[in-house]
Structure 1
Amino acid sequence: MHANDWVEVRSKQEILATLDRNGRLDGMPFMPQMFEHCGKRFRIHKSAHKACDPVYTMAARGVADAVHLNLRCNGQVYGGCQAGCRLFWKEAWLKPVNADAARGSAPRDKAGRTKTPAGYRGCTEEDVLRGTRADGRLGEPDADTQFVCQNTQLPEFSKPLSWWNPAQYVKDYASGNVTFGEMARGAVYVLFGRRFGTRIPLLRHAYNGFQKLTGGMPTPVANGKIPVGQPHPAADLNLRPGDLVRVKLHEEILRTIDTRNTNRGLCFDAEMVPYCGGVYRVITRVERFLDEKTGRMKSLKTPAVILENVACRSSFSRCRMFCPRGIYAWWREIWLERVEETGKRDAAGKARASSRREADEKSLAVIEAAE
């Protein structure tokens, strides 16, 4: 299956027939909220033949027979996790819109029936729901509940993938995930802007000069200005979903993070730099999320926000270039500033003008009465 292909999510019965008693196929969990998409058609966002490892190293991992449909986890059965991770879909759970197409069909035996995984004893929707907990118990979660999701299990259904393995880049291009131009720019960046450019200033300057001539951005790798151990600045904009904000310029943000590029423990990553100066809408406030290592719920001491269409592009990550997961970036409010929408600004201006007119009329009335 390729990026931009149209597919249909198979029926609940067909999908259950591919799962083991833990609700998994080849170690990949089918998550309960994915059932609501059964029978619906979607365009493939990208091939998911590789991903970044959120549990251990953040390096690249190889994934077999999977795609992304640009659908994200709503966290409802995972204690209200607000991370909004993009879902993985096994090709066996999908079928091409063209029913006669052979590519992407579910595994079938000689009789044409859907193949079942080894050790399969019949999977039910309740099994899938129980598979979201490490102990298999249902009920209201508590502080000790250990959740299981695609993010926590990614090391189980993937394999290590070295950054220098050329096969992954062939797949990036052949699957439609990356254009030739994007691949060329990525290679130039890794060699001159990051891997060797950080050690040899001349190469770094040459890379930035090349980017300026070709309309690209300079290398986003830079360290914050605050010494480690010193207090970090904070801001409370009380942002809510739907609010419009502008991301501050990179140089301004560098003054709010330490030399490890963190502000109160939250990292400002190179992948966030391309969004600096842009205007975006708030999707949600992040106050709770699953710890990928433990599967337990954690709370942010200082909430962060997620912005619409602002996710990792994996263009500046030397060990996981072109990762298609599109993990949402988390933003401290000190890195943002409110933007008043045009309609609201006009309405506010009219309200102020009306208030001034009323005040002037009252003042004139007082003067006339005095006279």
Structure 2
Amino acid sequence: MTLSAGDWVEVRSKEEILATLDANGRLEGLPFMPQMFKWCGQRFQVYKRAHKTCDTVTGYNTGEWLGRRLPNAVHLELRCDGEAYGGCQAACLIFWKEAWLSPVDPAQAAAAGRDHAAARQPSGGCTARDVWDATKSSDQAPGKGPRYACQATELPSYTQPLKWWDARQYAEDIASGNVSAGKMFRGLLYFAYVGATMARRPRLGRPARWIYDRFQSLWGGVPFPRRRGDLATDKDAPIAHLGLQPGDLVRVRPHKDILATIDKQTNNRGMGFDAEMVPYCGKVFRVRTRVEKFIDERTGYIRRMKTPAVILDGVYCQSRYSENRLFCPRGIFAWWREVWLEKVPATAIGTPPSHEAVELPRRAAG
């Protein structure tokens, strides 16, 4: 079975899924997390095929967020609620093995049934209790609190390295419906332009960015997304306390305003402003949640934010400008400092859908 974006599937029963798992609650190294049981028997549409992903574990240490290959998996539009993981608020998109799903299309169902029967063979007699026990790492350190093991922390164990030049991944992006041919062309064109100008000829950086911005402005496109901040160090970066709560409307400040709050490494007091966040500048979104604690994917321990960040509905990484992991389908939520946002009165606009951006007219100067 090879599912594509837009296919309808039904999550298999609890008993069927347990039969595919080993004694550690995993299938081919991928953990099945306890909160996923609540969706058994329900039907969902495939969001994207998860044939590749980004390395958010070892990437922190090397400074290179390389791509990883993942076989026989998809994303549904279902995110982790953190219930089994100390209340982690990162809301990661969940990976689903195809063996845990049954196609609704009768033409695919017969083949999927055979694949599922084969997947049951390596079962290690897993129980629901085993799945819950597997949320804690076997390597616990006294006095440091629970060390968790989830799909995010265990990513290197169920994926393999994927080179950016492996053209097969881009062909699969298009064939699976993850990315349109036009969007793929624009993404490759962006990297070709950057490589031919700024990467190989640094002196062309400023004029190349100027040309890029003027060209994009012809149809209201996104300005060049990779710019350094104005601050020499992020230790004195400004902080704002807007008291944002879930449901509040905010406008993302213009990119030039955000550049004044970050350093040359694009950090604001340790939190990065990524190029993938630039397309959202100037648009209005609804606050989804405040992020006060999360699991450090490198260590498995809960970390608490000194200054809380916020997550906005529908605002996630699209991997349009990300070296080595172009069009990664993982959809990681962007985290926002409140200084990068401005609160919008609810009376200033009709209630927008929670998952869409809404353009507001800019206020006149003065």
TM-score interval (norm. to shorter): 0.7 to 0.9
- Which of residues 21, 26, 29 in structure 2 aligns to 1:27? 29
Structure 1 contact 192–204 (Cα < 8 Å) conserved: no
Structure 2 contact 139–147 (Cα < 8 Å) conserved: no
- Which of residues 262, 287, 293 in structure 1 aligns to 2:292? 287
- Letter of the structure 1 residue corresponding to residue 237 of structure 2: H
- Letter of the structure 2 residue corresponding to residue 17 of structure 1: A
State the partner residue of 1:4: 6
State the partner residue of 1:354: none
Cα deviation, 1:117-143, whole Å, max 9, x if unaligned, reads: 53x331111111111111399xxx984
State the partner residue of 1:307: 312
State the partner residue of 2:364: none
- Which of residues 83, 86, 99 in structure 2 aligns to 1:79? 86
- Which of residues 234, 245, 253 in structure 2 aligns to 1:248? 253
User: Compared with structure 1, are the counterparts of its residues 175 and 305 closer, same or farther at alpha carbon in structure 2 (3 Å cutoff)?
Assistant: same
* TM-score, normalised relative to structure 2: 0.87
What aligned pairs does 1:122-141 form with structure 2 within 5 A after superposition?
Answer: 122-135=125-138
- Letter of the structure 2 residue corresponding to residue 88 of structure 1: F
Alignment partners' CA distance in 1, 2:33 and 2:279: 32
Structure 1 contact 9–39 (Cα < 8 Å) conserved: yes
Alignment partners' CA distance in 2, 1:203 and 1:333: 31
Alignment partners' CA distance in 2, 1:142 and 1:338: 41
Alignment partners' CA distance in 1, 2:346 and 2:45: 32
- Letter of the structure 2 residue corresponding to residue 235 of structure 1: A
Alignment partners' CA distance in 1, 2:244 and 2:195: 34
Alignment partners' CA distance in 2, 1:41 and 1:136: 36
Structure 2 contact 234–269 (Cα < 8 Å) conserved: no
Alignment partners' CA distance in 2, 1:252 and 1:183: 30
State the Cα distance separating 1:206 from its structure 2 match.
4.3
State the Cα distance separating 1:193 from its structure 2 match.
3.2
Cα deviation, 1:191-249, whole Å, max 9, x if unaligned, reads: 11367434333544444444344553232110000102651110101111111111000
State the partner residue of 1:145: 146
- Letter of the structure 2 residue corresponding to residue 134 of structure 1: S
User: Compared with structure 1, are the counterparts of its residues 215 and 337 closer, same or farther at alpha carbon in structure 2 (3 Å cutoff)?
Assistant: closer
Residue 197 of structure 1: SS of its match in structure 2? helix
Alignment partners' CA distance in 2, 1:192 and 1:103: 47
What is the total number of aligned residue pairs between the two structures? 338
Structure 1 contact 17–122 (Cα < 8 Å) conserved: yes
Residue 152 of structure 1: SS of its match in structure 2? coil
Structure 1 contact 95–104 (Cα < 8 Å) conserved: no
User: Compared with structure 1, are the counterparts of its residues 121 and 217 closer, same or farther at alpha carbon in structure 2 (3 Å cutoff)?
Assistant: closer
State the partner residue of 1:181: 182
- Letter of the structure 1 residue corresponding to residue 328 of structure 2: C
State the structure with more CA Rg. Answer: 1
Alignment partners' CA distance in 2, 1:2 and 1:103: 17
State the partner residue of 2:161: 160
User: Compared with structure 1, are the counterparts of its residues 56 and 196 closer, same or farther at alpha carbon in structure 2 (3 Å cutoff)?
Assistant: farther
Structure 1 contact 91–106 (Cα < 8 Å) conserved: no
Alignment partners' CA distance in 2, 1:163 and 1:121: 36
- Which of residues 58, 69, 81 in structure 2 aligns to 1:62? 69
- Letter of the structure 1 residue corresponding to residue 133 of structure 2: R
Alignment partners' CA distance in 2, 1:103 and 1:279: 46
Alignment partners' CA distance in 1, 2:31 and 2:79: 14
What aligned pairs does 1:1-371 form with structure 2 within 5 A after superposition?
Answer: 1-57=3-59, 58-102=65-109, 105-106=112-113, 108=115, 113=117, 115-118=119-122, 120-135=123-138, 143-193=144-194, 196-198=197-199, 199=202, 200-201=204-205, 202-213=207-218, 215-228=220-233, 230-342=235-347
Structure 1 contact 96–103 (Cα < 8 Å) conserved: no
- Letter of the structure 1 residue corresponding to residue 288 of structure 2: I
CA RMSD of aligned residues (A): 2.2
Alignment partners' CA distance in 2, 1:103 and 1:264: 54
State the Cα distance separating 1:116 from its structure 2 match.
2.6
- Letter of the structure 2 residue corresponding to residue 41 of structure 1: R
Residue 274 of structure 1: SS of its match in structure 2? helix
Runs of 5+ unmatched residues, structure 2? 60-64, 351-366
- Letter of the structure 2 residue corresponding to residue 12 of structure 1: K
State the Cα distance separating 1:106 from its structure 2 match.
4.9
User: Compared with structure 1, are the counterparts of its residues 229 and 78 closer, same or farther at alpha carbon in structure 2 (3 Å cutoff)?
Assistant: closer
Alignment partners' CA distance in 2, 1:121 and 1:23: 9
Runs of 5+ unmatched residues, structure 1? 346-371
- Letter of the structure 1 residue corresponding to residue 329 of structure 2: P
Structure 1 contact 14–114 (Cα < 8 Å) conserved: no
Q: Which range moves more in the overlay, 321-330 or 52-61? A: 52-61
Residue 176 of structure 1: SS of its match in structure 2? coil
